[in-house]
Amino acid sequence: MSVQPPSETTASAPIKRLTVPNLIKRKQAGEPLVTLTAYTAPMARLLDPHCELLLVGDSMGMALYGMDSTLGVTVDMIINHGRAVVRGSKRALVALDMPFGSFEASKQVAFTNAARMLSETGAQAVKLEGGKEMAETVRFLVERGIPVIGHVGLRPQSVHVIGGYAAQGRDEDAWEPIIEDAKAIEAAGAFATVVEGVAEPLAAKITESVNNVVIGIGASAACDGQILVTEDMLGLFDWAPRFVKHYASLGPTISDAVARYAEDVRARRFPSTDETYKMRRPKK
């Protein structure tokens, strides 16, 4: 028996893409939001029926390009993958990560890049990392019609400053700055905030303390929604953070399939008559 994903429309009506107000209403109704990363049209097509939000994350640097961190991702890369995800999806709200160096210099630079990213992809929101220090930039973008998702706690773009990817807020005396970051981003107008890699009680406290949508990753089930890197969740890599649950182990499955293909090619078993074209019969 198949499970029908929640829909905003009847079966006969065209699918309408979810909006920022739709996501806010889901929080108010206590309906958890399902969020995953997407970088390609085929993957977006598979994820779309099940997700309220798809994030074209700068995690693509590591998941797709083999980078050691997210810092090498560019605006052009986000735009190219964003176009693909928008084309491949119909229902989910699509948000784009603002990569390192695209928003920190000034709020005007942030607006120029965010406006270009949305106009060239058709996506509906941007996400940027930072707390109190980015509140003025968030407000500047929102006042000019750009929906913003914040990102506090563990911030991968600050990996060199914090010295790695260690979880944050595991000592209670470190909570207040992170809570204040989340409150500042909400007050500036961000409709949602990603809370990454923090102690579970802190994530629950942040969710209680703000009115915008809180999306957890390595945080708490008490958050208003959850996000994972899709490739991590599907088990495509040998290693994943401890907060990832593997819902499949596709890495070994893919490796096995390629090994069997290679064996067939080397033994000249592929292509067989089933995979080749026959000559047409001559016309009489």
Per DSSP, the residues of 206-257 read HHHH-SSEEEEESS-TTSSEEEE-HHHHTT-SS---TT---S--HHHHHHHH
pLDDT of residue 165: 67
pLDDT of residue 1: 47
Say which CATH number the domain at 194 has: 3.20.20.60
pLDDT of residue 166: 75
Output the pTM of the full model: 0.91
Q: Is there a domain that residue 202 lies in?
A: yes
Q: Is there a domain that residue 152 lies in?
A: yes
Q: Report the alpha-carbon distance of residue 60 to residue 7 in Å, rounded.
A: 28
pLDDT of residue 163: 63
Is 243:229 a contact under the CB 8 Å cutoff?
A: no
pLDDT of residue 282: 85
Q: Is there a domain that residue 72 lies in?
A: yes
Q: Cα 150–16–98 angle (5° rounding)?
A: 25
Q: List phi, psi (to 5°) of 106.
A: -165, 160
Q: Is there a domain that residue 279 lies in?
A: no
Report the DSSP beta bridge partners of residue 217: 196
Which residues form the catalytic set?
196
Q: At what angle do helices 135-143 and 175-187 cross, to 10 degrees?
A: 20
Q: Is there a domain that residue 283 lies in?
A: no
Q: Is there a domain that residue 204 lies in?
A: yes
Pinpoint the alpha helices (H) of the chain.
20-28, 41-47, 60-63, 75-88, 107-121, 135-143, 159-162, 175-187, 200-209, 230-233, 250-266
Q: Is there a domain that residue 57 lies in?
A: yes
pLDDT of residue 4: 54
Query: Residues at the annotated binding site for Mg(2+)?
Result: 58, 97, 129
Per-residue tens of pLDDT for the chain, all 284 residues: 455 555 444 456 788 999 999 999 999 999 999 999 999 999 999 999 999 999 999 999 999 999 999 999 999 999 999 999 999 999 999 999 999 999 999 999 999 999 999 999 999 999 999 999 999 999 999 999 999 999 999 998 876 666 666 778 789 999 999 999 999 999 999 999 999 999 999 999 999 999 999 999 999 999 999 999 999 999 999 999 899 999 999 999 999 999 999 999 999 999 999 999 999 988 87
Q: Is there a domain that residue 208 lies in?
A: yes
Report the DSSP beta bridge partners of residue 168: 198
Query: Residues at the annotated binding site for 3-methyl-2-oxobutanoate?
Result: 58-59, 97, 127
Query: Residues at the annotated binding site?
Result: 58-59, 97, 127, 129
pLDDT of residue 75: 98
Domain coverage including residue 40: 20-250
pLDDT of residue 117: 98
What tokens does 6 get? 């929640």
Number of domains in the chain: 1
Is 216:205 a contact under the CB 8 Å cutoff?
A: no
